[in-house]
């Protein structure tokens, strides 16, 4: 049997690089183009690129330097920082690479021995696996579901403290994929305190954060000062993955190093990406509204079906996806590949994120209410056949 979860060691891949296994599961299923799709962790928003760019569309492949509004300025205003605190990247995933390279460059000459990175689980595989490529050792740190079934996923402070003491860098995802839950503010503040005490550089993949901006206690990791790097992109919350536009926010010294790394590896940002992003960044409020609308319209239907089947539903306070556990340790890969497939529905098994989540299913309400209604009907039938 193939395992699809993220790797935290190079075992069996010495002198090589481990694959991103979950894509081997997910891409062929996306290619099946199942009629109903609850698998998207990001908003499916139909941007009107033609309408937004107008005549500027004809310039899409021309150098952009002088004739677009600098997206760093819009992002810096949004984040309450100076533009020199912002570095644009090709998506959050390249942001992870650049942030980690930057963190390593900052410490490499003073570390005698291995560079150690603590990385959160469950997670998006490129987070620990970038560290497997670039650092010497990766320590896994776990977030676990609440005992009551409802509320924030939490960190085990003894486990995390031990890891932070041994690590030079820690990689976290404040809004977690697949739970959709944000870090408990007490855990967040405690992690920051541990990072500062142990001289650990914090790298936070905040690809889902924008959906939480309006929530009380929301705070991006970069706001905690030096050596706290935030990564974000237009992919998830704003439905613009295909243009590959992301950014880092951190203290100016860190960003200056990241900029040298970006230029060494990538030169300049792609012109179509910058031109589209420069316009899209002025229109993000439209997508924020669409998220509110999808939550309002879609979530009640999801709640009803899960309740009908006696499934505990730990609904995240914001965003467009969450996950639930199937009863009786049922395999969610079997659920997706047999019961859901029979109803032409795609969902994501928790085994894409951790070996501890083989009975979990990630579902999203990131699509229009009409197709969502049909997809929920397919989910109902799939649960009916799996649980009876
Ligand atoms: C936590 C997390 N970060 C980043 C990404 C991808 O972001 P991008 O498309 O901007 O590289 C994903 C996609 O699943 C993700 O789950």
Which among 283, 301, 336 is the end of a domain?
Answer: 283
Residues 215 and 267 in one domain: yes
Which strands sit side by side in the sheet containing 360-364, from one edge to the other?
A: 321-325, 360-364, 348-349
* Coil, strand or helix at 138: strand
CA of 308 to the centre of ligand 1 (A): 32
Residues 243 and 344 in one domain: no
Residues 279 and 304 in one domain: no
Domain with 192 in it: what CATH number?
3.40.640.10
**pLDDT tier at 244 (50, 70, 90 boundaries)?**
very high
CA 101, CA 265: separation in Å to the nearest integer? 11
Q: Which two tokens stand for residue 311?
A: 């499934």
- Decide whether any atom of ligand 1 lies within 6 Å of the 177 Cβ: yes
Give the pLDDT score at 66. 80
- Decide whether any atom of ligand 1 lies within 6 Å of the 354 Cβ: no
Residue range 201-226, pLDDT digits in tens:
999 999 999 999 999 999 999 999 99
Residue range 125-180, pLDDT digits in tens:
999 999 999 999 999 999 999 999 999 999 999 999 999 999 999 999 999 999 99
On the question of pLDDT at 97 being above 90, the answer is yes
CA of 235 to the centre of ligand 1 (A): 7
CA of 3 to the centre of ligand 1 (A): 20
Give the mean pLDDT of 336-341. Answer: 98
CA of 236 to the centre of ligand 1 (A): 7
Residues 29 and 130 in one domain: no
Residue range 100-117, pLDDT digits in tens:
999 999 999 999 999 999
Other beta carbons less than 10 A from residue 275's beta carbon: 24
- Decide whether any atom of ligand 1 lies within 6 Å of the 232 Cβ: no
- Decide whether any atom of ligand 1 lies within 6 Å of the 205 Cβ: yes
On the question of pLDDT at 380 being above 90, the answer is yes
CA 95, CA 25: separation in Å to the nearest integer? 24
Q: Which two tokens stand for residue 185?
A: 């503010």
Task: Report the mean per-residue pLDDT for the chain.
Answer: 97
Give the pLDDT score at 59. 92
Percent of the chain with pLDDT over 70: 100
Q: Which spans in 309-368 are helix H? A: 332-334, 341-342
Phi-psi region of 337 (alpha: psi -120 to 50; beta: other; left: phi over 0): alpha
- Which structural domain, as residue segments, surrounds residue 116? 56-283
Q: How many residues does the chain have?
A: 388
- Decide whether any atom of ligand 1 lies within 6 Å of the 92 Cβ: yes
Residues 254 and 290 in one domain: no
Domain with 381 in it: what CATH number?
3.90.1150.10
Give the pLDDT score at 53. 95
Whether the Cβ atoms of residue 196 and residue 228 lie closer than 8 Å to each other:
no
Residue range 258-283, pLDDT digits in tens:
999 999 999 999 999 999 999 999 99
- Decide whether any atom of ligand 1 lies within 6 Å of the 176 Cβ: no
Mean pLDDT is lowest, of 1-5, 42-46, 301-305, 330-334, for: 1-5
Name, in order, each residue with C-beta under 8 angstroms of 150's C-beta and a sequence gap of 6 or more.
Answer: 312, 314
In a domain, 233, yes or no: yes
End-to-end CA distance of the chain: 25
For the CA of 175, the nearest atom of ligand 1: 1
In a domain, 6, yes or no: no
The DSSP secondary-structure symbol of 183 reads P
- Please state the domain count of the chain: 2
CA of 207 to the centre of ligand 1 (A): 6
Name, in order, each residue with C-beta under 8 angstroms of 122's C-beta and a sequence gap of 6 or more.
Answer: 5, 6, 143, 176, 177, 178, 179, 350, 353, 354, 356, 357
CA 125, CA 23: separation in Å to the nearest integer? 10
Residue range 39-88, pLDDT digits in tens:
999 999 999 999 999 999 999 999 998 889 999 999 999 999 999 999 99
In a domain, 1, yes or no: no
**pLDDT tier at 229 (50, 70, 90 boundaries)?**
very high
Give the pLDDT score at 70. 94
In a domain, 263, yes or no: yes
């Amino acid at each position: 049997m193939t395992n699809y979860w993220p790797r935290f060691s190079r075992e069996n891949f010495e002198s090589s690089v481990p694959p991103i296994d979950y894509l081997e599961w997910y891409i062929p299923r996306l290619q099946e183009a199942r009629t109903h799709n609850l698998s998207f962790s990001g908003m499916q928003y139909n941007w009107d690129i033609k309408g937004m760019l107008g005549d500027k569309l004809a310039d899409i492949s021309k150098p952009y330097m002088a004739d677009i509004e600098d997206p760093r300025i819009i992002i810096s205003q949004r984040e309450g920082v100076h533009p020199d605190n912002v570095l644009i990247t090709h998506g959050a995933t390249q942001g992870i690479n650049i942030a980690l390279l930057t963190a390593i460059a900052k410490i490499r000459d003073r570390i005698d021995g291995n560079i150690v990175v603590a990385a959160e689980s469950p997670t998006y595989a490129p987070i620990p696996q970038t560290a497997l490529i670039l650092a010497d050792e990766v320590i896994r740190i776990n977030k676990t579901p609440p005992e009551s079934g409802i509320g924030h996923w939490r960190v085990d402070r003894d486990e995390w403290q031990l890891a932070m003491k041994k690590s030079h860098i820690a990689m976290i995802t404040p809004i977690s994929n697949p739970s959709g839950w944000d870090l408990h503010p007490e855990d967040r503040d405690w992690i920051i305190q541990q990072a500062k005490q142990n001289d650990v550089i914090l790298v936070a993949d905040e690809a889902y954060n924008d959906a939480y901006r309006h929530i009380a206690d929301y705070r991006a990791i970069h706001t905690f000062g030096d050596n706290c790097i935030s990564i974000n992109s237009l992919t998830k919350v704003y439905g613009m993955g295909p243009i590959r536009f992301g950014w880092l926010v951190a203290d100016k010294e860190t960003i200056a190093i990241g900029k040298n790394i970006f230029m060494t590896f990538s030169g300049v940002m792609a012109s179509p990406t910058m031109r589209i992003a420069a316009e899209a960044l002025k229109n993000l409020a439209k997508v924020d509204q669409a998220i509110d609308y999808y939550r309002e319209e879609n979530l009640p239907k999801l709640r009803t079906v899960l309740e009908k089947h006696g499934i505990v539903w730990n609904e995240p306070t914001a965003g467009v996806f969450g996950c639930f556990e199937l009863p009786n340790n049922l395999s969610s890969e079997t659920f997706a590949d047999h019961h859901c497939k029979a109803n032409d529905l795609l969902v994501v098994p928790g085994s894409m994120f951790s070996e501890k989540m083989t009975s979990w299913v990630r579902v999203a309400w990131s699509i229009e209410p009409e197709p969502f209604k049909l997809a929920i009907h397919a989910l109902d039938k799939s649960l009916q056949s799996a649980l009876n």
